[in-house]
Structure 1
Amino acid sequence: MDATAEKVGCPSVVSIESFKKLDDVLDIEDCLTLTITTPNITGRYPVLVYIHGEYLYEGSNSEAPPDYLLEKDIVLVAPQYRLGPFGFLSTKTGEIPGNAGVLDIYLALQFVKHFIKYFGGDESHVTVAGQVGGAAITHLLTISPMVQKGLFHQVIYHSGSALMPIFLEENPRKLAQDIAEMADCNLKTVRDLNECLMDLSPLELLTAFMTHALEKSDLGVGHTGGIQFTIGGPSGVLPYHPYELMLHANNSYPAMGGCPKNVGSRVLNEIVENDFEGMIPDDDYVAYDYINHVIRQVVGTDKTMLLTSFVTHDFFNRKLLENGTFDTLIPRLIDVGGTLMHKLPVLLALNMNNKHVPHSTFLYSFDYMGEYNRYRDLDEDTNMQSAFKAGVSLTDENIYLFPYPDHVTKLSPPDKTVAKRMVDLWTSFVTNGNPLSDFRAGYWPPMTSLYGPYMKIDDTLTVSGNYFKEFSATLTDEENGQSLLRESYYLRKNLANKRRRLNNNNLKNLTFESLKKSTLP
């Protein structure tokens, strides 16, 4: 078997058009492959298993090309796993138990354990890392009771953990039923539901999943199925809520994790583009509406209003709550979205880890604003119609670890310097459990408290003491004159409003003159 040719990614909403063309000529579900890159098959190098990210419904291992990291002596393994309904749909039955995508990674790690020595890797020196959904899977593997100790030895969380509400569901059957109904299934029993879902072709299931997601997306967390870990059920992966498992887990590992400074700009951009359809609803929304919308999209409906009360007290003042418009709320909305969705789940995971593995838990904030954002639609030259800039957005640190996607493969000289530093830090942790770099004297101190210390990664490396300050990083920058507000957007908007008012006045005057001529003698 020729294992050198790149294989297709697992079916996803992003690849649906491509798979429509391929469905007749290949089995599009035959995607459980992994890519191994090694300096030398006769060596015995530390291993980095990188789990690609996005939000459990898209992506592939093409996101982890080896070009930068393999400048150091490590083996890079990039597995694929089933996505969306193929990996995470669940009826909590033996037929469709859920968590299949997690079990794919579990199997990949077992493969690594037994066979990586034939590729120059050291099976006793394996680090698992991931981005967002991949980070959540990584964290889940550290607390799941079904994962035996010794399968891997260290972890890295990029902007995610298993504590993210967007990835958790205790009652997935109703969502599975909603998706099945989109595919015109005739449902009377759970058996009917299972049989219909399993009888659907891959494209039929993917289409029903996508239709359901588009219909429910503006309702927020908990309304879209096929993209979450199932809590409970027969899979055995997640018998209880992750936080409860963390309280009793014995399998803690040396860990590193963190987020970009303005990580919430991604979710706020998606709210504007998808939920608001590109139009800022200041005529219909007051400050509380914007706050509730962001909370709904990152943690779900706040039925008790306790979270909303906390957020409004800590992030907003009375003047903004009474008179705030979208442009005045932008930095705070970015911070609220980024903190609740990414920063707090990562911090909580590392905090609990630090209790069991003191002196070996490392926290960072990635603050470097380079030439590109990792997501092309957030880049300055492609996002001029947005009301705000992306800043240092979701997983921007990955630009300097992997030359992916294509638009970030040609780094400027300053960006190359940061890339070399990032590769130094990450591969140092993979190799010896300490993130060290030749670019800086001293070392990156491990966490010793609930909030630090942590490393701020920018043009220079700076140790800071209180990570809670990162919860309002975008607002702090705004107060220091570094605003993400796109003034040109509001200048154009104000000009358009003036023209519209002028045209309306001219129309009124014209109508009045016409009326006089037609009715007066």
Structure 2
Amino acid sequence: MFRIIILFLNVYLVFGDDPKVETTHGVVQGKVLKTLYEEKEYYGFMGIPFAVPPVKELRFKAPQEIDPWNGTLLATKEKPACIQFNNDVKKGQPLGQYGVEDCLYLDIFTPNIDQNRRAVIVFIYNDRLQNSYNKTLDYAPDFFIEEDVVIVTPSHRLSTFGFLSFEDEHLPGNAGLLDLYLSLKWISKNIQYFGGDPERITLMGSQGGAVAIDLLLHSKANELFHSAILQSGTSLTTMYLQENVRERTFKLREILKIPSTNTEKILKELQNVPPSDIFRYELQAMPDDYNKDQQRSVLSFGPIVEKRPDGFITEYPENKLGTINKPVMIGMNSREGLALSIYYLTQPNFFGTINKHYPLIMPKRLKYKLNPIHDNYIEAIEDVKKFYFGKNKITIKNIPEFINYIGDVITAYSINMMVENFANKSSVYYYYFDYYSGLNQNKNNLLKLSEVSDGTWGTATGDELCYLFKCPELRRTYQKYKQMLAQEYQIQSKMVKMWANFAKHSNPTPDENNPLNLKWPTYETESKKYLHIKENIEVGEKLLEERFKFWDDFMKKWEEITINETARGKIEDEL
């Protein structure tokens, strides 16, 4: 009874008026909103600070907890995105720098403010931890609100501003992940005052957001949430947790003509460099020919494994098998390589250069690498070409096969590997999204730019998001599908219900509220069952088995060859 009274005292809500809630840091005032389908009223609290603004002497550094504020904080308008450089032509936004450095705020959307403890979804979305999104202008919470779920969207720093590191005590790295950790602390302490249940917090991430959640699962933040949904992203891909980032920071310092070699002094200088200069030169901080030499994707500054024993990320996730014991939903889309192939889709005449400069990328981190100046490197590429393209010379007609290749090595293989790893101890629900309609916003935007139509079947990365969240540009499309009770509306409703069920019950198809005529089984390493989301949703087995087996055999073969040749070279040197 005492707890209920305390909760009631934290709510200053008069129906018809703007809602007010007392948090651990002060009173916030939100606004009343309405959902799209049911026109249901709900409450939005936007722009709640959870950290001190990371500006000036706090730029690049770990976030600091904010002090309580006086009076009532007006939380009725979303804050600008964290500063970033947009190079995604699909979004239809101006290319170049946008956003601000003072960006550590979160938004809360709740069906009601009462003592009903609802499931909570904390949604994290970014592209490669480099670009974020424009909050409800891109993805609004309407459909989950109608399922009586609370939605929280925290912001975090991106690219160099979130992940610059000297790998020392002055700048250990991973500030962007620590932003999320601090936001989760605030959410866990306060969500009950917004009608949410701190014991049923689910992290839901797409692309780089899924990568961040994967890393949070392997950190001390793990205790702050109950379950996780990871869509089209994992930290197991070679783009993340790269080594020797200290050297990159020093190279950036050289490019910016900072004379000092003392990391504390360099940091002070970098904190005064205009953001435009940092964006202009951050890619140049990468080692020359990194992709070719390392057979890894290129990312200038991202999450790292810290050298400090008390760091936030101290081990590679693949070295901590069987340590995660939480319900997880993991999935991918059928053509993850579509957006990654945009250069060739928009400029197909350049595709022929692949024959001479094939981008060999390994689908996971390895303990060996191929030497680009040795014949083995060329032979390995020929193995890949033979599997994906056959024996013929690669031409513009092979763009569909390249889409498969790049999607496998950047996303699909590592996601399947993550599923296998988590299945050792967790309840894992694995899905494969392969449904196309007018709600596939990412793919449809891409097709507007593409000069190629062959091979563009399937679903692009992020295509599931406009089924789960309201994409404002598609408002008329949603309404048309609903009025017609079209198949698109039926698929969308089932997806929202399954995701909401997972947040509520840790099971997307529970007996009491199953939107399907079948049960979505948990993944087992022997049967390898997954949910295939298409026109007729069904349970499948052994997803993309042939392609994943090729990579297993390929990496095993070239590891043995590399080890044998290294040993032979050492013997010859001794002789």
**TM-score band, normalised by the shorter chain?**
0.7 to 0.9
Matched with 1:208 is 281
Return the alpha-carbon distance in structure 2 between the equivalents of residues 260 and 21 of structure 1: 29
- Letter of the structure 2 residue corresponding to residue 324 of structure 1: K
Residue 102 (structure 1) shift: 0.6
**1:368 to 1:470, Cα distance in 2 relative to 1, 3 A:** farther
Return the alpha-carbon distance in structure 1 between the equivalents of residues 444 and 290 of structure 2: 19
Q: Which has the higher helix share?
A: 1
Return the alpha-carbon distance in structure 2 between the equivalents of residues 341 and 21 of structure 1: 27
Return the alpha-carbon distance in structure 2 between the equivalents of residues 419 and 210 of structure 1: 39
- Letter of the structure 2 residue corresponding to residue 460 of structure 1: N
Matched with 2:8 is none
- Letter of the structure 2 residue corresponding to residue 81 of structure 1: H
Counting only pairs closer than 5 Å after superposition, residues 431-442 of structure 1 correspond to structure 2 as 431-436=504-509, 438-442=514-518
Contact 1:373 1:379 in 2 (8 A): no
Could you report, residue by residue, the CA deviation over 1:348-373 in whole angstroms, capped at 9, with x for unpaired residues? 2222211112xx21101001011254
Matched with 1:446 is 522
Contact 2:113 2:195 in 1 (8 A): yes
Residue 217 (structure 1) shift: 9.3
| Other structure's SS at 1:394 match | coil
Pairing partner for 2:200 from 114, 120, 125: 125
Normalization by structure 2: what TM-score? 0.71
Matched with 2:173 is 98
- Letter of the structure 1 residue corresponding to residue 528 of structure 2: G
The answer to whether residue 457 in structure 2 is matched with residue 457 in structure 1 is no
Could you report, residue by residue, the CA deviation over 1:201-237 in whole angstroms, capped at 9, with x for unpaired residues? 33433333366689989868465422x2111234712
| Other structure's SS at 2:193 match | helix
CA-based RMSD of the aligned residues comes to 3.4
Pairing partner for 1:364 from 431, 440, 446: 431
The answer to whether residue 144 in structure 2 is matched with residue 83 in structure 1 is no
Pairing partner for 2:218 from 122, 130, 143: 143
Return the alpha-carbon distance in structure 2 between the equivalents of residues 58 and 135 of structure 1: 14
Matched with 1:374 is 441
Return the alpha-carbon distance in structure 2 between the equivalents of residues 396 and 53 of structure 1: 14
Residue 304 (structure 1) shift: 5.6
Residue 95 (structure 1) shift: 2.1
Residue 324 (structure 1) shift: 2.3
| Other structure's SS at 2:431 match | strand
The answer to whether residue 300 in structure 2 is matched with residue 225 in structure 1 is yes
Counting only pairs closer than 5 Å after superposition, residues 257-272 of structure 1 correspond to structure 2 as 257-270=330-343
Pairing partner for 1:279 from 308, 326, 349: 349
Matched with 1:401 is 468
Structure 2 unaligned residues grouped into runs of 5+? 1-72, 88-92, 482-486, 549-575
Residue 190 (structure 1) shift: 3.5
Could you report, residue by residue, the CA deviation over 1:320-348 in whole angstroms, capped at 9, with x for unpaired residues? 55432233433332222212211222222
- More off after superposition, 309-318 vs 363-372: 309-318
- Letter of the structure 2 residue corresponding to residue 2 of structure 1: L
Return the alpha-carbon distance in structure 1 between the equivalents of residues 198 and 330 of structure 2: 23
- Letter of the structure 2 residue corresponding to residue 331 of structure 1: P
| Other structure's SS at 2:370 match | coil
Could you report, residue by residue, the CA deviation over 1:9-65 in whole angstroms, capped at 9, with x for unpaired residues? 00000299799798xxxxx21101111100011131000011112111111361441
Counting only pairs closer than 5 Å after superposition, residues 47-62 of structure 1 correspond to structure 2 as 47-60=120-133, 62=135
Counting only pairs closer than 5 Å after superposition, residues 228-377 of structure 1 correspond to structure 2 as 228-234=302-308, 236-244=311-319, 246-247=320-321, 249=323, 251-270=324-343, 279-282=349-352, 284-286=353-355, 289=356, 292-293=358-359, 295=361, 303=370, 313=383, 316-317=386-387, 320=389, 322-357=391-426, 360-375=427-442
Contact 2:364 2:414 in 1 (8 A): no
- Letter of the structure 1 residue corresponding to residue 307 of structure 2: G
Return the alpha-carbon distance in structure 1 between the equivalents of residues 420 and 304 of structure 2: 24
**1:106 to 1:325, Cα distance in 2 relative to 1, 3 A:** same
- Letter of the structure 2 residue corresponding to residue 429 of structure 1: F
- Letter of the structure 2 residue corresponding to residue 164 of structure 1: T
Normalization by structure 1: what TM-score? 0.77
- Letter of the structure 2 residue corresponding to residue 127 of structure 1: T
**1:402 to 1:323, Cα distance in 2 relative to 1, 3 A:** same
Return the alpha-carbon distance in structure 1 between the equivalents of residues 377 and 288 of structure 2: 26
Could you report, residue by residue, the CA deviation over 1:273-327 in whole angstroms, capped at 9, with x for unpaired residues? 5xxx653242x442xx46x315279979952688987786577359x55432233
Residue 421 (structure 1) shift: 1.4
**1:316 to 1:153, Cα distance in 2 relative to 1, 3 A:** same
Return the alpha-carbon distance in structure 2 between the equivalents of residues 329 and 186 of structure 1: 49
Contact 2:362 2:409 in 1 (8 A): no
Matched with 1:37 is 109
Residue 103 (structure 1) shift: 0.6
- Letter of the structure 2 residue corresponding to residue 279 of structure 1: N
Residue 166 (structure 1) shift: 0.7
- Letter of the structure 1 residue corresponding to residue 349 of structure 2: M
- Letter of the structure 2 residue corresponding to residue 393 of structure 1: A
Residue 4 (structure 1) shift: 1.2
Matched with 1:389 is 456
Return the alpha-carbon distance in structure 2 between the equivalents of residues 307 and 153 of structure 1: 45
Contact 2:215 2:317 in 1 (8 A): yes
- More off after superposition, 369-378 vs 228-237: 369-378
- Letter of the structure 1 residue corresponding to residue 361 of structure 2: I
**1:307 to 1:252, Cα distance in 2 relative to 1, 3 A:** farther
**1:175 to 1:263, Cα distance in 2 relative to 1, 3 A:** same
- Letter of the structure 1 residue corresponding to residue 261 of structure 2: K
Contact 1:135 1:159 in 2 (8 A): yes
Matched with 1:512 is none
Could you report, residue by residue, the CA deviation over 1:383-408 in whole angstroms, capped at 9, with x for unpaired residues? 24577526311121112011236357
| Other structure's SS at 1:167 match | coil
Pairing partner for 1:419 from 486, 492, 495: 492
Return the alpha-carbon distance in structure 2 between the equivalents of residues 86 and 285 of structure 1: 33
Could you report, residue by residue, the CA deviation over 1:131-153 in whole angstroms, capped at 9, with x for unpaired residues? 11110111111112x3353x101
Return the alpha-carbon distance in structure 2 between the equivalents of residues 54 and 255 of structure 1: 21
Counting only pairs closer than 5 Å after superposition, residues 177-188 of structure 1 correspond to structure 2 as 177-188=250-261
Return the alpha-carbon distance in structure 2 between the equivalents of residues 450 and 175 of structure 1: 43
**1:278 to 1:330, Cα distance in 2 relative to 1, 3 A:** closer
Q: Which has the higher strand share?
A: 2
Return the alpha-carbon distance in structure 2 between the equivalents of residues 38 and 366 of structure 1: 28
How many residue pairs are counted as aligned between the two chains?
A: 453
| Other structure's SS at 1:104 match | helix
- More off after superposition, 381-390 vs 77-86: 381-390
Structure 1 unaligned residues grouped into runs of 5+? 23-27, 473-521
Return the alpha-carbon distance in structure 1 between the equivalents of residues 439 and 250 of structure 2: 41
The answer to whether residue 272 in structure 2 is matched with residue 199 in structure 1 is yes
- Letter of the structure 2 residue corresponding to residue 464 of structure 1: G
Contact 1:315 1:332 in 2 (8 A): no
**1:174 to 1:223, Cα distance in 2 relative to 1, 3 A:** farther
| Other structure's SS at 1:168 match | coil
Contact 1:374 1:396 in 2 (8 A): yes
- More off after superposition, 13-22 vs 41-50: 13-22
Contact 2:532 2:538 in 1 (8 A): yes
The answer to whether residue 542 in structure 2 is matched with residue 466 in structure 1 is yes
| Other structure's SS at 1:323 match | coil
